[in-house]
């Protein structure tokens, strides 16, 4: 279903480009008429807003538009008809309609630059926070009228970016932000909105997506940033620059701007605790939430190291916690062995190190499995039986 908001996002830049080019009025009228036939009378309102800076409303804008065309034919000779619409518009709105009392003339390309700079971030070219919140308000207003409509909001934040700025310099920090913006936009569809929300934080508005699809988009961006060879990123403690994200959904996460933003921000906070991961509000409700279990697990890095023993602290289908004696680099990949008799079967699985913290002489590691572990219930059931049999 067409809405004024969708039109503005999709065609406003196109209309501004027409005004900022050397397009003759005849071509301008033709383009506007084609858009109006395809998308309705709100096209006239948007065009007059760009040309005059005033909202006249959809119905009145259509009336003004066609009356200006007639007015142009009256005051200009036929041979000048292709160049007379804009001066006729000025004359009509000032003297016939009385809608303008103190007009100003401005070049189209200058108008384009002013309009663009007011809604975008100068460094990355993405939309800015002020514009984003206005769009979010309009989107929620429009979605409420259609009970089946949904959208996803994603907050993304670069991990260890302050450390990167401090160690690599602000020039490289700015370049990293620009590269991240390019990675983000390259993974979005037409109609999706990408925003530099502030500092090293970005936001995405993804219309019509469910939780799984929104997660897939955010995960592609995360992997893109993780694999990007940012200059001198080896100076970071983690070895590379990464990004974390939190997802909220309308209407499941809330029905107001504040609720949607707060939910995404909370999920981002949880993701930042683990680093280099995407977290959805649904994760709190998932059936495979982590459950406590203490048992022997062997792990090894992929640099030829031997397997070492560790004690599991909790486990789910998507990850687990380990306690071990050796420090493990955050962001590294481990090979894990679940071996008999501590587990019901011998299982090999790989996992990404998402969080590392030291407490006294032990190192606690948060892992995310590369593949879902579907046999968690069997593992836990076997563990309880083993404990009962051994009398522990």
Marked catalytic residue, from 46, 200, 267, 330: 200
Q: How far apart are CA 279 and CA 287, in angstroms?
A: 15
**The pLDDT value given to residue 2:** 36
Q: For position 391, what pLDDT does the model report?
A: 45
CB contact at 8 A, 306 and 335: no
Residue with tokens 């380990």: 322
129-285: CATH topology: Alpha-Beta Plaits (3.30.70)
Q: For position 190, what pLDDT does the model report? A: 83
Could you tell me which CATH number the domain at 291-390 has?
2.40.10.220
Euclidean distance between CA atoms 183 and 175, whole angstroms: 12
Domain ranges of the chain: 4-119, 129-285, 291-390
Catalytic site residue 200?
Answer: yes
| Burial 177-191, CB ≥16 within 10 A → b, else e | bebbbebbeebbeee
Phi, then psi, of 324 in degrees rounded to 5: -145, 180
pLDDT of residue 114: 54
Per residue of the chain (392 residues), what is the pLDDT tens digit? 334 444 455 556 666 666 655 667 888 888 888 888 888 888 888 888 878 878 888 899 999 999 998 888 888 777 665 567 888 888 888 888 888 777 765 555 545 455 556 788 889 999 999 889 988 988 888 777 666 678 999 999 999 999 999 999 999 999 999 999 999 999 998 889 999 999 999 999 999 888 888 988 998 999 999 999 999 999 998 889 999 999 999 988 888 999 999 999 999 988 887 788 888 755 444 444 567 778 889 999 876 678 999 998 888 877 888 999 888 887 788 999 888 777 777 888 898 887 788 877 888 888 888 877 766 666 666 554 444 444 44
Q: Are 67 and 59 in contact (CB under 8 A)?
A: no
Q: How far is 356 from 269, CA to CA, in rounded Å?
A: 16
| Three-class SS state of 167 | helix
Most distant CA pair in the chain, distance: 104
The answer to whether the CB of 128 falls within 8 A of the CB of 136 is: no
59 torsion bin: left (phi>0), alpha (psi -120 to 50), beta (else): alpha
Using DSSP's 3-state secondary structure scheme, residue 28 falls into helix
- What pLDDT is stored for residue 286 in this prediction? 43
> What whole-number distance in Å separates Cα of residue 302 and Cα of residue 27?
63
Using only the alpha carbons of the chain, give its radius of gyration: 29
């Amino acid at each position: 279903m067409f809405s004024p908001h969708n039109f503005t996002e999709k065609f406003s830049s196109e209309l501004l480009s027409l005004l900022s080019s050397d397009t003759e009025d005849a071509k301008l009228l033709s383009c506007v008429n084609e858009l109006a036939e395809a998308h309705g009378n709100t096209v006239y309102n948007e065009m007059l807003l760009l040309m005059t800076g005033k909202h006249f409303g959809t119905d009145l804008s259509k009336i003004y538009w066609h009356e200006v065309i007639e007015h142009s034919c009256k005051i200009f000779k036929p041979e000048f008809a292709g160049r007379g619409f804009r001066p006729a518009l000025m004359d009509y709105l000032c003297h016939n309609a009385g809608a303008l009392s103190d007009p100003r003339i401005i070049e189209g390309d200058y108008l384009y630059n002013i309009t663009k700079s007011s809604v975008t971030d100068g460094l990355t070219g993405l939309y800015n926070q002020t514009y984003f919140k206005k769009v979010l308000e309009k989107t929620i207003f429009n979605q409420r009228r259609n009970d089946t409509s949904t959208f996803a909001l994603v907050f993304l934040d670069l991990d260890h970016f302050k450390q990167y700025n401090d160690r690599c310099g602000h020039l490289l920090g700015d370049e990293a932000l620009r590269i991240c913006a390019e990675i983000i936009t390259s993974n979005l569809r037409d109609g999706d909105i990408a925003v530099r929300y502030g500092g090293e934080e970005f936001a995405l508005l993804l219309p019509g997506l469910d939780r799984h699809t929104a997660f897939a988009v955010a995960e592609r961006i995360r992997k893109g940033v993780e694999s990007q060879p940012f200059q001198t990123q080896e100076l970071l403690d983690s070895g590379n620059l990464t990004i974390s994200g939190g997802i909220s959904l309308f209407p499941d996460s809330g029905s107001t701007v504040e609720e949607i933003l707060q939910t995404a921000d909370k999920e981002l906070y949880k993701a930042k605790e683990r680093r280099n991961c995407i977290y959805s509000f649904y994760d709190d409700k998932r059936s495979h939430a982590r459950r406590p279990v203490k048992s022997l697990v062997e792990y090894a890095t992929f640099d030829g190291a031997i397997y070492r023993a560790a004690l599991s602290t909790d486990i789910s289908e998507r990850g687990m916690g380990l306690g071990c004696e050796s420090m493990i680099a955050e962001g590294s990949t481990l090979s894990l062995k679940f071996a008999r008799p501590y587990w019901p079967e011998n299982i090999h699985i790989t996992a990404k190190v998402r969080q590392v913290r030291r407490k006294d002489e032990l190192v606690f590691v948060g892992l995310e499995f590369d593949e879902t572990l579907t046999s968690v219930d069997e593992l836990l059931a076997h563990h309880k039986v083993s404990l009962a049999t051994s009398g522990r």
